[in-house]
Amino acid sequence: MALHGGLTPTQQQLVINPPTRSESPIPRRVIIATDVAESSLTVPGVSIVVDSCLSRVNRRDSSRGMSVLVTELTSQASATQRAGRAGRLGPGVVYRCITAEEYGKLPSFSPPAIQTSDLTGALLDCACWGSPGGTDLPLPDPFPTVAATQATQSLVMLGAITGVSESTPYGTVTDLGEALASLPMDPHLARGGLVALRAVEDATPAHSPTDSHTATSHTAASHSATPAHSPTDSHTAASHTAASHTDSHTAASLILKTLAILDSSNRLPDDIGHAARTLGNNHPEFTRIRSLFRRALPQYTPAQPTTATHPFTPADPVAFTIACAFPHLIARRVPGSEHSVLTTSGTGALLPAALAQTPSDWFAIADISRAHTGDGTGARVRSGLPLTPGEVFAAGEEGVGIKEETTTTYDEATGRVRARTTRHFGAIQLSSTPAQPTTEQTRAAIDDALTAHGLRLVGLTTAAESLARRIQFLADAHVPGYPTLRGELPETVRAFVTDALVKGQKPDVVGLLRGVIPWDHPIDELAPEAIELPGGRRARVTYPPVEGSATEDAPAVIATKLQDCFGLEESPVIGNRRVQFHLLSPAQRPLAVTDDLASFWDGPYQEVRKDMRGRYPKHSWPEDPRKK
């Protein structure tokens, strides 16, 4: 006898309490049960339990973005609960179909379903209840952040929620979302049925809002076999002619059968089109799905009817249903490639050989494997069908949609702002054309470029670069009145440069920078371009660059021959920091690096003097270098 949650209460009672004669005991029975018998029901007369130690549990299928049932080892807590069924009304025994070692490795408890299941349906319910994200609900465990974010993205692509932003991370529910939540099934499959059936019925001649359930009702009453034909044949049929009632009924039947297969199969058939066309009209899952949508379809009216102005019957109702159910897996062939496709969610994948040979560039993917592949794509299409462009955009109109945006970039080489208008269907780029940027777009592009590149954007002259370095050096030394030019530019500088570039002019950066220098703290005194050394030479001071690897503590540097520093008792100071000297030999070779000349004269200089006197006897090597 079988015992599972799919039985009606009457059927369950026949298993739990079978009818017996008053004078006879309950007959000996073997009951094959799911874990419904673990805690939900008490079966009398059980003295032996044979435990497979397996469970069928919901797990998130990342490829399809929905929960599927998988078989895995159960937990020790569940195994203990199952064993208790044998001794509930008397002594009993349990036989576990694993070794003691394997039992010891079982997890103590099963993880909460909220941590392992797809959250799309749960978050949709929360949104319908007025608590987006469940933030106002006293949940035992909060929604996992990553899984909740993925589920929210799925709901956006389904058209179930809208308005997702930083301030409203879970958005607000749409009319379509409320319609999906009303169906006791995964939101993806609910969308597949509602959108596909509505498109078919909108294409029915003499259609009116009051008879929107006609085709589905006729489908419910029809038991004629669906004509078998190949996806290729269906693609070339009725795409250019109006659909008859019979075509609509056949399409509706195929839509419902496709949903029945999607809802009942974890591992989808490779040829899902053939599976749908050969599914019997009396299949229990088809009967259940048909009953659900017969009640739900009349209550759903799309905000923007897909076929209001261009009615059509899908060339392949099976492919169209898959596209409506999984709009994030609608894919287009990558230009120039036979096997590579890109989905609307941004996943790249490889087509199987048979599907790659079809002439279509668009595909409805029902199942995708994310296993590692040799070419690095990381995904292979396991089950899918070709689509027509009309089916593609009808399936993704609510949710994915076609979005147009204009992007602008500043071309440093030409000093001009370039704009392009692109049309996207999810992550798939449909077109990209040059555009004329507006003044606001031009200003925004220049502003972004200034943020990224600073004053380097305008191509600084040597004088401007030197002045900018000196200003930044004093800013790093916290000299009052000197603004930093690293990172965010001062507003006056930014505005001046932006205005000039918008007008196509070359800004006077030197004049601009001198305008931000405080008059009572002259830069030529605080950070001179050169310092006169005792020997009479004016040595150029090299300041660290404004951007790059230099730190705020980087020193100003003077590179000069050692003889030029004779008579200099200690290192000069710029911006509260001692200048670093790179001391050179008469042949311009490095001798020493120091920012403390006083200590250098007292120590290392004497060793340098001994070595250099023999090499360069014609040059001065005084015993006391502090004297000129």
Residue 11 DSSP class: H
Q: Please name the residues in contact with 339: beta carbons below 8 A apart, sequence gap of 6 or more.
A: 350, 351, 353, 356
Q: Is residue 627 part of a domain?
A: no
Count of other CB atoms within 10 angstroms of residue 573: 11
Picking from 32, 119, 111, the residue whose alpha carbon sits closest to that of residue 73 is 111
pLDDT attached to residue 628: 65
Question: How many Å apart are CA 536 and CA 539, to the nearest integer?
Answer: 9
Which tokens sit at 352?
């199987």
What's the domain count of the chain? 6
The span from the CA of 598 to the CA of 567, in Å, is 11
Tokens encoding 484: 């930093």
Q: Are 297 and 220 in contact (CB under 8 A)?
A: no
Same domain? For 176 and 192 the reply is no
Three-state SS string over 504-542 comes to CCCCCHHHHHHHCCCCCCCHHHHCCCEEECCCCCEEECE
Domain membership of residue 13 (yes or no) is yes
- Which two three-digit tokens encode residue 466? 């030197």
Pair (176, 187) in one structural domain: no
Query: Residue 572 falls within a domain, yes or no?
Result: yes
Structure tokens at 142: 């909060």
C-beta separation of 571 from 581 below 8 A: yes
pTM of the entire predicted model:
0.68
- Residues 217 and 329 both lie in one domain: yes
Q: Would you report the helix, strand and coil content of the chain in percent, each value rounded to 5?
A: 40, 20, 45
Residues 332 and 222 in one domain: yes
Helices (H), ranges, 230-340 = 231-236, 245-264, 272-277, 284-296, 317-325
What pLDDT is recorded for position 485? 87
Q: Do residues 454 and 468 make contact, with C-beta atoms less than 8 angstroms apart? A: no
327 with 421, same domain: the answer is no
623 domain-assigned: no
Q: Is residue 621 part of a domain?
A: no
Residues 214 and 340 in one domain: yes
CATH code for the domain in which residue 104 is found = 3.40.50.300
Please give, one letter per residue, the 3-state secondary structure of 547-566: CCCCCCCCCCEEEEEHHHHC
| Residue labelled with tokens 């070779």 | 589
Q: From the first residue on, what is the mean pLDDT of each consecutive set of 10 residues in the chain (628 residues)?
A: 80 75 65 79 82 84 65 90 80 91 91 88 94 90 91 93 92 93 94 92 51 43 38 38 56 94 80 92 92 88 55 84 94 94 92 93 88 58 92 90 92 88 95 93 90 83 92 91 84 87 88 85 91 91 83 89 92 92 94 94 91 89 86
Tell whether 227 and 123 lie within a shared domain: no
Out of 94, 114, 134, a domain closes at 114
Same domain, 148 and 202: no
The DSSP bridge partners found for residue 58 are: 69
Distance CA 116, CA 68 (A): 11
Place of tokens 């923007």: 304
What local confidence, expressed as pLDDT, does residue 286 receive? 93
Give a yes or no: residue 597 inside a domain: yes
Burial class (CB in 10 A: 0-12, 13-18, 19+), 125: middle
Lookup: tokens for 125: 């319910």
Residue-number span of the structural domain to which 534 is assigned: 530-543+552-615
Cα 278 from Cα 295, distance rounded (Å): 25
Radius of gyration of the chain (CA): 38
Strand 48-51 with 93-96, pairing: parallel
- Which one of 114, 144, 160 terminates a domain? 114
Taking the CB of residue 443, how many other CB atoms lie within 10 A of it? 17
- Asked if residue 131 and residue 14 are part of one domain, the reply reads no
624: in domain = no
Mapping DSSP to helix (H, G, I), strand (E, B) and coil, where does residue 306 land? coil
Q: Would you mind telling me the total number of residues written for the chain in this entry?
A: 628
78 is written with which tokens? 């569940």
In this structure, the answer to whether residues 205 and 158 fall within a common structural domain is: no
Q: Does residue 400 lie in a domain region?
A: no
The verdict on 213 and 328 lying in the same domain is yes
| Residue finishing a domain among 114, 143, 160 | 114
How many DSSP H helices and E strands does the chain contain? 24, 23
Is the domain of 51 the same as that of 143? no
Of 565, 503, 512, 576, residue with least CA distance to 534: 565
Q: Output the pLDDT for position 225.
A: 36
